[in-house]
Structure 1
Amino acid sequence: IAVGFDARKSSPQFTEILRKGLNEAGCDVVLIGMVPTPVLYHTVFTKRVDGGVMITGSHNPPNHNGFKICLGTSTLFGSQIQEIKEIALSGEFSQGAASLQTIDVLDDYCRDIVSKIDMGNRRLKVVVDGGNGMGGETAVPVYRELGVELVELFTEPDSNFPNHHPDPTVTENLQDTIKAVLENKADLGIAFDGDGDRIGVVDETGRIIWGDELMILLSRSILAERPGSTIIAEVKCSQTLFDDIEKNGGTSIMWKAGHSLIKAKMKETGAALAGEMSGHIFFADRFYGFDDATYAGARVLEILSKTDKNFSELLSDLPQTFSTPELRVDCPDERKFEIVQKIADYFSRTHEVITIDGARIIFENGWGLVRASNTQAILVLRFEADSEENLRQIRETVESRVKHFIR
């Protein structure tokens, strides 16, 4: 079993406890040290191991920590995690002698990433914002090797996150990246979450490119090379993304949010690419199918290095839409799924409602989504429309019903 950990103060202690437990249960342990989460995934795919555990709190507060668990090359989730809990509570474990081995995998990882990228002739200047998480540990050496001129921000791991929180889905956390892009006249900025599996991108004008827009850029590139490819995006993504995939000869699939669920759907469908609003981007095209922000960023650099256009020009043909960010509404855990069902039932009398993950209600000029969070006692809402006025109307229509059912 491969074991890696992030820079949090509690991570070495958790690593030792886990190592001891695995060894006592007869499992050989391969320690890969302090690495971003995608390096643990890469180890599971490329080394002779039967699974892996990444000890990381990702983008959560510094005093949080957790495990991301792989059985073989698949990530455990849902009922499988509950099964581990039951085994733990039973106290009945196998026993046996086992070994401990420490290996350095970072150089192998970086070499492999570089070998999968084919840069063009254009020399790029790029801001890399590690947010004092783990992303800079791989992004900096990989992008340098690709010939990119870097402006580094907060690429040294520091579990106190002294500069800003490492969550690139929050506009506030991208302000340093935006400022550095404009001050340095950079071609783009790339920001990372705490454990390096999620990406945030800022174009040369300082505009944030959210996950679904980034997916449009990446899907067009893949479909130009692999016409007819299947591409997956989660239910919070813009309708523009699904339409653009189809327009460019691809097959689009709308699926449930959650990196483990997306990975499973990719395997099932043979999809070339998948992505989430949160910045999890999964490449099976020229890659292993897991979410890796350093690799996703490298693919963006590859696209940009082969054109004379500015980043903003590559998406300038998209129809203008108006959307909200993710809106969070407090809702008791025991009621959140029931509320979503009531919303779906209510609107399905008059509208098409997609119920893959929550209720995505289709209006004439846009859509509204209500879904239960996988991890918190909240409902997540998002809205998109073809005008500010239609956006306001759709939002008011759906939010008033949500409030009515929560009361």
Structure 2
Amino acid sequence: MAHNFDSTVLREYDIRGIIGETLGPDDARAIGRTFGSMLRLAEGDSNPSPTVAVGYDGRVSSPMLEHALVEGLTASGCNVLRIGMSATPMLYYAEASRENVQGGIQITGSHNPPNYNGFKMVFQGRPFFGADIQELGKLAAAGDWADGAGGTSSLDILGEYVERMLEGLVDIPADALNGLRVGWDAGNGAAGPALEALAAKLPGEHHLLFTEVDGHFPNHHPDPTVEANLADLRALVAEKNLDFGVAFDGDGDRIGAIDGAGRVIWGDQLLMIYAEDVLKTHKGATVIADVKASRALFDHVAAHGGEPLMWKTGHSLIKSKMKETGSPLAGEMSGHVFFADTYYGFDDALYAGLRLIAASARLGKSVTELRGAIPEMLNTPEMRFQVDEARKFPAMDEITQRLTTNPGPQVEEVNATDGVRVNTKDGWWLLRASNTQDVLVARAESDTDAGLERLIAQIDEQLALSGLERGESVGH
């Protein structure tokens, strides 16, 4: 039986939809059957029964989807290693740390509302995204599936995963960490149990919020890039006079942070701290950040002897670029951080929290001091505005064409890596099409208020020339 997916669920970086409307168990079964068939074909005769690790987050719909996904995988002839309810990085760890595991699928709605769910995938040690996902859709529609009868086994990986993360502190004397006082907010997401196990083994004093997994997210929405969602953590840090605080998204692969003074440490600012630490032992290394990141980050990497590389937004795209360049560190404004120096190169917010502790200890400065040393730039939040799906990419093509052929006197440089990032004497502005929604994304950064206004006016001018306007900002 062939299977057709709803046109909205096959995204650039993952598969995602609304339970009962665009996504259900039949879709999960077809994903398993097709992914398994693709993996068997890629593995060939040398491995006729490859193994796929499967985990799921704390959403109400996740166990149902997991059951159907496993049915599909085993029907394709793959064996399944079930790791159960877990943060996404635990699934990545199960796949990366075992030679006898050839693929991985995590069922997660990430930071989307509770009625959403989806699938993040790893295929033979690399991200499965973009053209892979489109190919999966085509093969499912054709019913082009392998047949077989794979087996299942279960693995409790939590203890092993926590011990592996703790290796990130192995070179730091315990007495350097004993006075540490940190707040943590799991946001009722899937990282809660792993956070409890990790905090119990860390030196210092740790205060935990919302570690009970609850797919209704009763305390706040689990997206640490939205400042309002950090209010509980900020209050905890202030009330207990903690050194800093760390928050996670719903599946534990994105980090947010607050310093001891209550200031948000944004994704690019965290990367500045991590880069300063990593570049001490990896001199001249490439450090990758997405096109939304502050100019201050790229300058900071260069000042500490690294090679800054600006790349396309999207965790799968960044991971692929890391492998290509051999980069030990990469990150995004959205809080995905990737360590490949002494870790596996996947995005793991729990490990990133631990590495913030390590960086502070190795650099001999508190997280608040490190945040305070970062230059204060004036920048807009990420402005996201609705543009018809059929119009967003053509409009960006027009804007890119205009700016690269006739940029005008105020434009110093145009970077078309992902949309357009335009440098002027006032700073820079960015305009790009989202790969996951029918929106354009804009951002600008300057040293002065007047400069920021001029940059935003340039964005508006380019939009107007393509018959668009920067409407009211919409959410993720």
* TM-score (structure 1 length as normaliser): 0.97
User: SS of the counterpart of 1:300?
Assistant: helix
Residue identity over aligned pairs, in percent, reads: 44
- Please tell me the residue identity of whatever aligns with 1:384: E
Mapping of residues 28-43 of structure 1, within 5 Å = 28-43=79-94
The CA deviation at 1:140 is 2.8
Worse overlay, 145-154 or 125-134: 145-154
Residues 1:187 and 2:239 are matched in the alignment = no
The CA deviation at 1:314 is 1.5
Kept in 2, the 8 Å contact 1:124–1:305? The answer is no
| Partners of 1:365 and 1:32 in 2: CA distance | 51
Q: Please, which of 263, 277, 283 is the counterpart of residue 319 of structure 2? A: 263
The CA deviation at 1:37 is 0.2
Per the alignment, residue 15 of structure 1 pairs with: 66
| Partners of 1:307 and 1:371 in 2: CA distance | 36
Q: Please, which of 368, 390, 393 is the counterpart of residue 337 of structure 1? A: 393
| Partners of 1:270 and 1:99 in 2: CA distance | 36
The CA deviation at 1:30 is 0.8
The CA deviation at 1:307 is 5.9
| Partners of 1:203 and 1:256 in 2: CA distance | 28
| Partners of 2:374 and 2:230 in 1: CA distance | 23
Kept in 2, the 8 Å contact 1:191–1:201? The answer is yes
The CA deviation at 1:308 is 5.8
Residues 1:58 and 2:110 are matched in the alignment = yes
| Partners of 1:319 and 1:157 in 2: CA distance | 37
Q: Please, which of 57, 68, 84 is the counterpart of residue 6 of structure 1? A: 57
Kept in 1, the 8 Å contact 2:428–2:445? The answer is yes
Q: Please, which of 233, 249, 259 is the counterpart of residue 289 of structure 2? A: 233
Residues 1:204 and 2:260 are matched in the alignment = yes
Distance of aligned partners of 1:115 and 1:233 in 2 relative to their CA distance in 1, 3 Å threshold: same
| Partners of 1:156 and 1:71 in 2: CA distance | 31
Kept in 2, the 8 Å contact 1:41–1:73? The answer is no
| Partners of 1:106 and 1:147 in 2: CA distance | 19
Distance of aligned partners of 1:320 and 1:81 in 2 relative to their CA distance in 1, 3 Å threshold: same
Worse overlay, 138-147 or 3-12: 138-147
| Partners of 2:356 and 2:235 in 1: CA distance | 20
Per the alignment, residue 384 of structure 2 pairs with: 328
Residues 1:362 and 2:423 are matched in the alignment = yes
Mapping of residues 121-270 of structure 1, within 5 Å = 121-122=176-177, 123-270=179-326
Per the alignment, residue 112 of structure 1 pairs with: 164
* TM-score (structure 2 length as normaliser): 0.83
- Please tell me the residue identity of whatever aligns with 1:155: T
Aligned residues: 407
| Partners of 2:403 and 2:78 in 1: CA distance | 52
| Partners of 1:370 and 1:322 in 2: CA distance | 17
Per the alignment, residue 317 of structure 1 pairs with: 373
- Please tell me the residue identity of whatever aligns with 2:419: G
User: SS of the counterpart of 2:211?
Assistant: coil
- Please tell me the residue identity of whatever aligns with 2:63: P
- Please tell me the residue identity of whatever aligns with 2:261: T
| Partners of 1:85 and 1:406 in 2: CA distance | 33
| Partners of 1:246 and 1:139 in 2: CA distance | 34
Kept in 2, the 8 Å contact 1:327–1:381? The answer is yes
| Partners of 1:12 and 1:71 in 2: CA distance | 22
The CA deviation at 1:69 is 1.1
Per the alignment, residue 18 of structure 2 pairs with: none
- 4+ long deviations beyond 4 Å: none
Q: Deviations over 1:227-273 (max 9, x none)?
A: 11110000000011001111110001000000000000000000010
- Please tell me the residue identity of whatever aligns with 2:196: V
Distance of aligned partners of 1:136 and 1:377 in 2 relative to their CA distance in 1, 3 Å threshold: same
Per the alignment, residue 437 of structure 2 pairs with: 376
| Partners of 2:433 and 2:180 in 1: CA distance | 41
| Partners of 2:365 and 2:161 in 1: CA distance | 31
- Please tell me the residue identity of whatever aligns with 2:85: M
Question: Which 5+ residue runs of structure 2 have no aligned equivalent?
Answer: 1-51, 469-476
User: SS of the counterpart of 1:66?
Assistant: strand
The CA deviation at 1:137 is 2.2
User: SS of the counterpart of 1:406?
Assistant: coil
RMSD: 1.3
| Partners of 2:183 and 2:460 in 1: CA distance | 38
Q: Deviations over 1:108-149 (max 9, x none)?
A: 111111123234413211111011101222223223312131
Residues 1:387 and 2:443 are matched in the alignment = no
